[in-house]
Amino acid sequence: MSARRIFARPARFAAIAPYVWMVLFFLVPFGFVLKISLSQTAIAQPPYEPVFDLTAGWTTIRAAFAALGIDNFKLIASDDIYVFAYLRSLTVAVTATALLLLIGYPIAYGMARLPKRWQAMAMVLVIVPFWTSFLIRIYAWINILQHDGLLNQILLALHLVSQPVVWLSTDTAMYIGIVYSYLPFMILPLYATLAKMEPALEEAASDLGAPPWQVFWLVTFPLSLPGVGAGVLLCFIPIVGEFVIPDLLAGSNSLMIGQTLWLEFFTNKDWPVASSAAIVLLVVLLLPLLLYERLQRRQLEER
């Protein structure tokens, strides 16, 4: 057997592996969810019908197919609760992502300009919160933000406020929690692009007469756009579906789609509607991904 063949086989397998993974852990479960979303609620085990029983014979399966329908999607489209939940999710995600970019960019930029030996240290500092469980960190925020929590104690001690401020169960608390939790996901891709940017490019811009703010807007920022795109996607997509942070830190007067989903699934036991909501969410999230991909492809084609 030639050397080429020996190496060709594992290489071919490695190329197939991601597709196998996608089919097994994404497409198959997605098929289940899609099927449930087209079913009807029932007081049964499982709580929907029709149920496909492959042993029941061909006609029963045909009848089960005929019983599928898009009623749940119509319900979601017509019911304000869902529309508002989607809109709120998108608003929260856009606002939080913008805040993350505004806070994360200067941090990443500062890190990339640190002397080399300090950069590794800064990186560790960004990642170190991951050593503690996510839930524990959110509960810690409850502790800080509650009526007699650390934040109010500090504000009172500094005489900045005369009465304790209500932080918990507000959108502010939720944004604090989201920005805090997702900041590393914004910083790391930005830092990676900024750190590998040639410093001579900024010097060249400055040499050609650009004052510092123009150096940033005309050279540094455009060249960091791939990092901005990656950071924005890494934050935006999970924030849209975020459940834990709004549930623990925000008030209950308006829900994000993740919370609505949870309610439908566990409280109302309405699996079909919950599944439809999940499918719509997926479609909503695919849009920015497709847009990003198309932009990247156009950039490649321009070269």
Partner 1 sequence: MTDELPRTDAVANAAGEMHPAAGEPLLRIEGVAKTFGTFRAVDGVSLDIKAGEFFALLGPSGCGKTTLLRMLAGFEAPDEGRILLGGKDIAQALPHERPINMMFQNYALFPHLSVRDNIAFGLKRARLARADIATRVAEMVALVKLDGLEKRKPDQLSGGQRQRVALARALARRPQLLLLDEPLAALDKKLRENTQGELMQLQRRLGMTFIIVTHDQEEAMTMADRIGVMNAGKLAQVAGPRELYEAPRSRWIAEFVGDINLFDAESKLCDGHRLIIGTRDAGTLVVAAPRQPVGESRFSVAIRPEKVKLSRRGPVSEAGHETAINRLDGVIADICYLGGTTTYKVKLDTGGVVQASVANSARLDVDAYSLNQQIVAWFTPDDCVVLPS
Contacts with partner 1 by CB under 8 A lie at: 198, 200-201, 203-211, 214, 218-219, 222-223, 302-303
189 or 272: CB nearest partner 1: 189
CA angle (182 as vertex; 164, 216 as ends), nearest 5: 105
For 92, list phi and psi in degrees, rounded to 5.
-60, -45
Smallest gap, in angstroms, from Cβ of residue 108 to partner 1? 19
Smaller CB distance to partner 1: residue 20 or 225?
225
Class of residue 122 by CB neighbours under 10 A (exposed 0-12, middle 13-18, buried 19+): middle
Task: Kindly tell me which of 95 and 206 has the beta carbon lying closer to partner 1.
Answer: 206
Residue 292 beta carbon to partner 1: minimum distance, rounded to whole angstroms: 17
Q: State the CB neighbour count (10 A cutoff) for residue 180.
A: 17
Question: Of the candidates 226, 236, 230, which has an alpha carbon nearest to the alpha carbon of residue 93?
Answer: 236
Q: Give the distance from CA 133 to its chain's centroid.
A: 18
Which residue, 79 or 207, has its beta carbon nearer to partner 1? 207
Q: Give how far the C-alpha of residue 143 lies from the chain's centroid of Cα atoms, to the nearest Å.
A: 25
Of 239, 241, 128, which Cα lies nearest the Cα of 188?
128
Between 109 and 182, CB nearer to partner 1: 109
CB of 213 to partner 1, least distance (A): 11
What's the CA angle centered on 193, arms 179 and 214, to 5 degrees? 90
* Shortest spacing between CB 226 and partner 1, in angstroms: 11
Confirm if 233 and 292 have CB atoms less than 8 A apart.
Answer: yes
As measured in angstroms, the least distance from the Cβ of 302 to partner 1 is 7
What is the closest distance, in whole angstroms, from the C-beta atom of residue 219 to partner 1 in the complex? 6
Between CA 175 and CA 181 the distance in angstroms is 10
On whether the CB atoms of residues 37 and 73 are closer than 8 A, the answer is yes
> Of the two residues 28 and 218, which places its CB atom closer to partner 1 in the complex?
218
Which of 10/211 has CB closer to partner 1?
211
- The least CB distance from residue 217 to partner 1, in Å, is 12
Residue/partner pairs of 46-50 with CB below 8 Å, 24 or more apart: 46/271, 47/269, 47/270, 47/271, 48/271, 48/272
Query: Cβ closer to partner 1: 129 or 212?
Result: 212
Phi-psi category of residue 168: left, alpha or beta, with phi > 0 → left and psi -120 to 50 → alpha: beta
Element (H, E) at 48: strand 48-49
User: Whole-number minimum distance, CB 222 to partner 1, in Å?
Assistant: 5
